[in-house]
Amino acid sequence: MLGLAADRLRADMNRLLAFLFHQGILDEQFLQLQQLQDESSPNFVSEVVNIYFHESEKLLRSLRSLLMDREFSDYNKMGIHLNQFMGSSSSIGANRIRNVCVAFRAASEQNNRAGCLRALELLEHEYCFLKNKLHELFQIEQQRVLAAGVRYPMQNI
Amino acid sequence: MARDGGVTWRRTEKIDRFNLSATDTAEEVHVLAVDDSLVDRKVIERLLRISSCKVTAVDSGIRALQFLGLDEEKNSNGFNDLKVDLIITDYCMPGMTGYELLKKVKESSVFREIPVVIMSSENVLARIDRCLEEGAEDFIVKPVKLSDVKRIKDYTTREFRVGEEERTRKGTNKRKQRDSFDLSSSSPPSILSSSPVLSSSSSPESQSPSPSPPSIPSASSAPSSPSPIDSPTRRVKTTSSE
């Protein structure tokens, strides 16, 4: 019975991944990360993604505090944060987030504060969405591993 | 068979081909990875380890120089004790950029033989040119993939390095030679696949890139090793000058 649960969970995972790829939320770099996960590094993807979340939240806070400052003018500094965010997003395959960063950077290069604010809101939204979906993915994966690992006593004979 | 060092090396080299390790002592390739982004360091470390490389990852050019022992006035002991076989560095870093690190390495009599590969999330021709002219072995547009790592490992083989030395000694244009060498290798380097403009031997700095395919890639297909088909994705990020 639990074998079926593991299969069902795997199907759920694949469905979620297919959705994320189809929507362009993730790209093939995420698959590359999955390929780097094996018995010697069984939690590689979630480890990298968690570092990404941690760093991204810092960057988002910095970006927001820069823009909220009424006397804000340091577009250069904002550009640096954006480059970092863009880089790490592309490294984990967070395609849509990276694309929003590109648009955000364009607004920043034009010193377009309103455009930057809009881009930041979009970025925060995309980030939240991705974080939720990836948490969901990792949860399903955890359950699947547990379900696949359970054995009935009889099978051990 | 004579038992001199030359023959031993050849035998080792044959074994190495199967082991995928590529030094003349048949030890693991030791790569020094430099990137200020923790996410990228984690990924590059894993890519290298899974490719059977020993990795030392640092977060800045200064630390890289410290590790090599190059940060003091002159390299004190004059040896590559740590046996670094390859340096892979991000271009954009606070403090010392990857380009500045490249220059420092190439200026050092002890370390200039070590192949240096530059990584960047920006596909900028002027930047690529500058790095290659300063002696970079290759320029990888991020995100770095397993196929990129497999390719750059080849730069540490003794065969390649001997060839490099001869080409450098002859004083031939680095990029031209690189291109003709790379065409004969098994997998295309990132430069050729990312920017076809670069494959012509002498292009002016201000040359604009070939017309790029429409917009930013959204949904994507399954991953594959780099091929010309990959290039549209890379080419999209190209800007004509820095």
What would the pLDDT profile of A100-112 be if each residue is shown by its tens digit? 999 999 999 999 9
SS3 call for B6: helix
The answer to whether residues B93 and B36 touch, using CB atoms and an 8 Å cutoff, is yes
Each residue's pLDDT tens digit, B186-197: 444 444 444 444
Residue B223 has pLDDT above 90, yes or no: no
What is the mean predicted confidence (pLDDT) over A75-93? 94
pLDDT recorded at residue B93 = 94
Note which residues in 157-216 of chain B have CB less than 8 A from chain A: 216
The rounded distance, in Å, linking the Cα atoms of A69 and A53 is 24
pLDDT recorded at residue A151 = 62
Considering only CB atoms, which chain B residues are within 8 Å of A94?
A: none
Considering only CB atoms, which chain B residues are within 8 Å of A104?
A: none
The rounded distance, in Å, linking the Cα atoms of B182 and B12 is 24
Of A20-29, B71-80, B167-176, the range with the highest mean pLDDT is: A20-29
ipTM metric: 0.90
Question: CB B43 to CB A86 under 8 A?
Answer: no
pTM score > 0.80 for this model? no
Average pLDDT, chain B: 71
Identify which of B107, B29, B30 has the alpha carbon closest to the alpha carbon of residue B65: B107
SS3 call for A17: helix
Residue A27 has pLDDT above 60, yes or no: yes
Each residue's pLDDT tens digit, B103-141: 999 999 999 999 999 999 888 999 999 999 999 999 999
The rounded distance, in Å, linking the Cα atoms of B79 and A75 is 44
Each residue's pLDDT tens digit, B169-191: 555 444 444 444 444 444 444 44
Question: CB B43 to CB A99 under 8 A?
Answer: no
Going by pLDDT thresholds of 50, 70 and 90, the confidence category of residue B162 is low
Helix (H) or strand (E) holding B206: none
Token readout for A156 is 């051990």
The rounded distance, in Å, linking the Cα atoms of A77 and A66 is 9
If 0-12 CB within 10 Å is exposed, 13-18 middle and 19+ buried, where does residue A68 land?
exposed
Question: CB B143 to CB A23 under 8 A?
Answer: no
**Nearest residue of B to residue A27 by CA position?**
B220
The rounded distance, in Å, linking the Cα atoms of B86 and B156 is 7
Residue B117 sits at φ, ψ, to 5 deg, of -115, 135
